Amino acid sequence: MYKILFLSLITACYTGNLMATEYFVDPTSSAALWVEKNKSDPRALAIRAKIASVPTAIWLSKIHENETELAQQITSYISQADKQKTQLMFVLYALPNRDCSGQASASNTTNSQKYRTWINQLTKTISNTELTIILEPDALADMSCLTPLQRKDRTDLLKYAVTQFKIKSPNAHVYLDAGNMKWQPAKTMAEQLIAAGIKDASGFSLNISNYYATEPTIKYGEDINRFLMALIGIKSNMIIDTSRNGHGAPALPNQWCNPLGRKIGEGPKDISATVKTAWIKPPGESDGDFSPTANCHGGPKAGVFSPDLAIRLIKGE
């Protein structure tokens, strides 16, 4: 009896246990569309089997000026996922001053009010649909390139998004992004997550678009949770991007832009009641074609699918 009570108390500390989830396979993903248009290409079979057939997050990275257009896009995805009996995973990636340090994925969002309006439109369309939201990769980890006023604005926008989803889309599982294990100290990240509203979110995400191995990433997440428990009395669920971590991270620093020798990682699964892995960065989509901080190894513009990059990840080259 004491063992059961102890386990119940541990579970109660978390912001809500994760449930086993089968995620949506997008038939219109960049990899799937490339395969459809290039069926005779000798790379097509491998890309279809190893990448296009694996559930992968859908990135929403452009502010739609037309609310109807956005609603139609989201509604279409919801309908398709319902037919598959799977759950959507959206990545919201449209904050002002996005990627201010790397500059490979700059945002088209010009002001904070446009971003709030976009969030309002999303929550209205999503309504009570159950799905997963990864909120703004790198936003908290990559703030050293912002002014103090811009940092406050970013934190306020993230907290606004978390709050709006909780109120208007209560079945959305929202994960604030916590960067990667080598970016910010765990205590610093815990403090930033608290400021951005982690108490009202489902958890935090790690390793998005990065290459660090799963086990040490979990350890970093556990360190964050220890600080969250000490500071506000909660532990959060975590979801880890494993789409490109099959060989772990490059040995040399600043090798984040289409680095050589990386490999696709293990597919989505539940590691525990509070830890999931998922493919969040679509393998084969470029990290960028230029950055002042890294060699992009001949990749196309950020987000553009490259069969050459895809095959390199499949083969681990």
List active site positions: 138, 287
- Dump the DSSP string for 117-131: HHHHHHHHHHTT--E
The Cα 77–Cα 273 span in angstroms is 27
Judge whether 183 is annotated as a binding position: yes
Q: 256 among the known binding-site residues?
A: yes
Q: How far is the CA of 143 from the CAs of 140, 148, 159, 253, 309, in angstroms?
A: 6, 9, 15, 19, 29
Structure tokens at 147: 């002014």
Asked if residue 296 lies in contact with residue 287, where contact means CB atoms within 8 angstroms, the answer is yes
Q: Phi-psi region for residue 138, left (φ > 0), alpha (ψ -120 to 50) or beta?
A: left
Q: Token pair of 81, please?
A: 């996922």
Among 127, 138, 136, CA closest to 164: 127
- 281 known ligand binder: yes
**Ordered alpha helix ranges (H), the chain:** 2-13, 30-37, 44-47, 67-84, 112-126, 148-168, 186-195, 214-232, 307-315
Binding-site residues for substrate: 59, 183, 210, 256, 281, 285
Binding-site residues: 59, 183, 210, 256, 281, 285
